[in-house]
Structure 1
Amino acid sequence: MGTDPGLRRLALRTLLAAFPGSAPPDWALRLIADGLAGHTLFGRNVTDPAQVAASTAALRAIRPDVLIAIDEEGGDVTRLAHATGSPYPGNAALGAVNDVGLTRRVYQAIGAELAALGINVNLAPTVDVNSADDNPIIGTRSFGADPVRVAAHSAAAVAGLQSAGVAACAKHFPGHGATISDSHYGLPTVDVPLDLLRVRDLPPFAAVVAADAKAIMTAHIRVPALTGEGPATFSRAVLVDLLRREYGFAGVVITDALEMKGAAQAAGGIGPAAVRALDAGADLLCIGADVDAALVEEVAEAIVAAIGDGRLAVARVEEAAGRADALAAWTRAGTTAEITASNLGYAAAKRAVRVEGVLSGLESPLVLQLVSASTIAEGRVPWGLGPHLDGTESLPVVAAETEPAALVELAGGRPIVLVGRHVHRLAGAAELVETLAARHPVTVVEMGWPSTWRPVGVRAFVTTYGASHANGWAAAETLGLAG
């Protein structure tokens, strides 16, 4: 006996899938016709603007109200500019500048670009308060460590995006900023009292609710005071009691990707995770990036089976689907802002640069970029000063595998500029920097989340608050090395 077609369609209306390649395959189009809420685009779906516009047009030709989402945060997390790096600074830089009008303009510009390409939901902004310096997944994606400042910029970002007709999805509720592990790989725990969450992590979410954010994304984190042993994504206390009843959110609750171990591992698979998320109060389920037709059908069947055996109320799924439909209707009615060509992002990134020390004597330096891994959220996006230099020699260096004496010999009489991300926690990097600085003129450019660590003996310490293309240019310009 096959799946009830009406219930299958209902289940599909709660799902955000994804597809490989530069054009939607037949199965991705067929699922849209069958009721699938929409698809999320990733870097692998992006070649150039004309190609993206053609992909979204193909999806919309099947059903005009299809949701087409993307993670376009600016800064270190970009899909549209994954080949070069974003022309906008990310949230940490915008928070450092602390001009809410600028934040609104940057997000309006991002929204206008998305709308012009046919994308109507941005899985941004990240509104987590980055209270842990060693947070491995939020960092420069956050507007900062001060809840009041983060709240103000979060509201401005939402207003900017939505003024361009693109729905904002603020993330990750109830706050991923205090974690020191990555929910892509496990289930992080934030073991603090609810009173601390209310004053530290939750103010930005209150601000985006007040700013009429159309969507809020769940966090695959465990907060024992609220969620018990499971993640927030599966917690009715978080999604209904706290978000909807206490904070008054009436929009769409979107899950973070259910393929992430913080959800799938906790539930015993993506299908069971979907059922638990819906039952907890989520409306739109982001399956993830590695999706095919079989996985979508598996998730839909799990939802239908849970309705059939009473684990999931059909009324709850109808409520979720109705909210996803309402979001789609809003995106169709939204206004679209005009794209204005400008150097907005580069000028903003320059305003964010902070210099401690003295930058004199940097004529013809040797630029060394400390090799570091990227997070899953970031992907492999180019970063650093290399593309912006005026002919200055630039080389990659693995800190833990490099002898300081060899670098001193290589530099000869030239000063050294060391460029890194999260230098203080990169294996061997702190020792390398301080050993070099003891015997040679060294300037450090920190393009990750700035910690309290400052290396002894360096001539200058330059902080960019991000590693986007715009941040790289701003650093090179500040150092007098931009070509």
Structure 2
Amino acid sequence: MGLDPGLRRLALGTLLAAYPGPVPPPWAIDLVADGLAGHTLFGTNIHDPAQVSASTAALRTGRDDVLIAIDEEGGDVTRLAHATGSPYPGNAALGAVGDVALTRRIYQAIGAELVGLGITVDLAPTVDVNSADDNPVIGTRSFGADPVEVAAHAAAAVAGLQAAGVAACAKHFPGHGATVVDSHHELPTLDVAPDVLRQRDLPPFAAVVSAGTKAVMTAHIRVPALTGDGPATFSRTVLVDLLREEYGFDGAVITDALEMKGAALAAGGIAPGAVRALAAGADLLCIGAKVDADLVEQVAAEIVAALGDGRLELARVEQAAGRAAKLAAWTRTAGRTTAGPGQEGYAAARRAVRVEGVLAGLDRPLVVQVHAASTIAEGRVPWGLGPHLVDAELIRVVAAESDPADLRRRAGDRPIVLVGRHLHRLPGGPELATALAATHPVTVVEMGWPAGWRPAGARAFVTTYGASHANGRAAAEVLGLTG
């Protein structure tokens, strides 16, 4: 026997699904017509602007107020520019510049580009305070390590996006910045008192609530004093008592992807996780990237079953679907500005570059780019100085497999520019830098989150605060390698 049509439609109204490929398949559009709240676009859905516009138009044939979301943070996390790298610097670079008016303009430019493509929700900004230097999943996605400064930029980012007419979704509540493991792979634990969160992690969320953010995304992190053994995504104490009652948020609570291990392992699967998130107070459930029609139906069926066996109350699911519908209504009536990516992102990235030491004698260098794996959030996006170099040789190496003597011989009498992301924590990275600098003129370009490590003997240390296309061009310009 099939699901009750009314309850199925109600359950679908709480789900953000996804689909494979550049063209929405018929089932993705049919589900929208049946009440699905919306879809999230990933890099696999993006080829070029005309194709994206055609895809969003196709989704609207299912229902004209369908939510179409995307992770477009600028910097290291981009879906629109996944093939080339973002033309915008990310949050760490904007935080380094320290100009909140610039942050607002950059995010308004991102928002205008999204609106022009028919996208209505940006799963950004990241407003986590990156208090752990070796945080593997936030890092340059954060505006910085100071809660007051992050709060100011977070509010500006939300204002910029929403001025363009796209709904902002500030993430990851109650703060992912102090973690040292990636919630895509496991459940991080922050064993701190709630007052620590209030002082260190929560000020940016208070700021975005005051700025009117339309949505807040949950974190798959465990804070034992608040969440017990599970993640914040499944905690009513966090989502209702803290976010809604203490901080006064009245918009839509969107979960981080339920396919992530930090949620799925804790719940025993995506569908049970959906029920637990709804019960805790979430409104829109982001299923993840690997979604098909069967998975959506499975999740909807689990929600309907939970309504029948008492795990969920009807009023709670109606409330969640109502908040999703309210968000959709806002996206239809918001004043919109549209534009393609301009050049301001490149100018902003240039302002963020910091140089320690002396940049001299960099004629025709050997540029050595050290391989660094990408996180799931970042995806495989090109990075580095390569596209911007003129009259310089570029080679790519794995730090732990490189022979400094071979690199010195290849360089000959030319200087070496060593380019890395989080070079200090790559296996063999610090050793390679130190060995090269001991006998050769070396300039290090760090394109990840800046740490305290500096290689002994290096002529200069350049920090870009990100690895986007804009950050790469900025570094090449500062080094005088763009011609």
TM-score, normalised by the number of residues in structure 2: 0.99
* 1:340–1:33 Cα change, 3 Å: closer
1:437 corresponds to 2:437: yes
1:482 and 1:336 mapped to 2: Cα distance? 36
Distance 1:145 1:22 in 2: 38
> What corresponds to 1:137 in structure 2?
137
Q: Once the two structures are superposed, what CA deviation does each residue of 1:115-143 show, in whole Å capped at 9, x if it has no partner?
A: 00000000000000000000000000000
Aligned mates of 2:186, 2:262 — CA distance in 1: 5
Q: Distance in 1 between matches of 2:443 and 2:72?
A: 32
Give CA-to-partner distance per residue, 1:275-325, whole Å, 9 cap, x none. 000000000000000000000000000000000011100100000000000
- Equivalent in the alignment of 2:301: 301
Supply the distance in 2 between the matched residues of 1:2 and 1:387 (Cα, whole angstroms): 55
Offset of residue 340 of structure 1? 6.5
Deviation at 1:61, TM superposition (A): 1.8
Equivalent pair of 2:85/2:469 in contact (CA under 8 Å)? yes
Question: For residue 345 of structure 2, what is the amino acid of its counterpart?
Answer: G
Task: Give 1:405 shift.
Answer: 0.5
Output the CA distance in 1 between the equivalents of 2:62 and 2:450.
46
CA distance in 2 between partners of 1:347 and 1:61 (Å): 39
Q: Match for residue 244 of structure 1?
A: 244
Q: Quote the residue 1:211 is aligned against.
A: 211
Match of 1:255? 255
Structure 1 residue 391, shift from structure 2 partner? 2.9
In 1, the alpha carbon distance for the partners of 2:75 and 2:205 equals 21
Q: Deviations over 1:210-252 (max 9, x none)?
A: 0000000000000011001100000000000000000000000
Q: Which residue of 2 aligns with 1:119?
A: 119
Q: In structure 1, how many angstroms separate the alpha carbons of the residues matched to 2:179 and 2:396?
A: 30
Which whole-Å CA distance do the structure 2 matches of 1:341 and 1:98 have between them? 22
List alignment gaps of at least 5 residues for structure 2. Answer: none
Structure-to-structure mapping, 1:38-57, within 5 angstroms: 38-57=38-57
SS state at 2:418 partner? strand
Q: Deviations for 1:398-434, whole angstroms, at most 9, x for unmatched residues?
A: 1000111111101000000000000000110100100
SS at match of 2:154: helix
Tell me the equivalent position of 1:168: 168
- CA displacement at 1:342 relative to structure 2: 3.2
Identity of aligned residues (%): 78
Paired AA for residue 269 in structure 2 = G
Is residue 2:107 matched to residue 1:104?
Answer: no
Task: Please give the residue correspondences for 1:22-33 in structure 2 after superposition, counting only pairs within 5 Å.
Answer: 22-33=22-33
Match of residue 477 from structure 2? 477
In the superposition, the TM-score normalised over structure 1's length comes to 0.99
Q: Which residue of 2 aligns with 1:158?
A: 158
CA-CA distance at 1:338 after TM superposition: 3.7
The CA distance in 1 between the partners of 2:35 and 2:457, in whole Å, is: 62
One-letter identity of the residue aligned with 1:21? G
TM-superposed CA distance for 1:9, in Å, is: 0.5
| Counterpart for residue 374 of structure 1 | 374
CA distance in 2, matches of 1:259, 1:397: 33
Counterpart amino acid of residue 134 in structure 2: D
1:16 is aligned to 16
8 Å CA contact retained: 2:115, 2:338: no
Higher mean displacement: 59-68 or 80-89: 59-68
Hey, what's the Cα distance between the residues in 2 that align with 1:23 and 1:332? 23
Distance in structure 1 (CA, Å) of the matches to 2:225 and 2:341: 48
Q: Secondary structure at the match of 2:243?
A: helix
- Gapped regions of structure 1 (runs ≥ 5): none
Between the aligned partners of 1:324 and 1:2, the Cα distance in structure 2 is: 25
Partner Cα separation in structure 2 for residue 349 and residue 105 of structure 1: 13
CA distance in 2, matches of 1:60, 1:332: 12
Matched length: 483
Identify the residue that residue 339 of structure 1 maps to in structure 2.
339
1:62, CA displacement in angstroms? 1.7
Distance 1:65 1:391 in 2: 51
* Matched ranges for 1:332-411 at <5 A: 332-339=332-339, 342-411=342-411
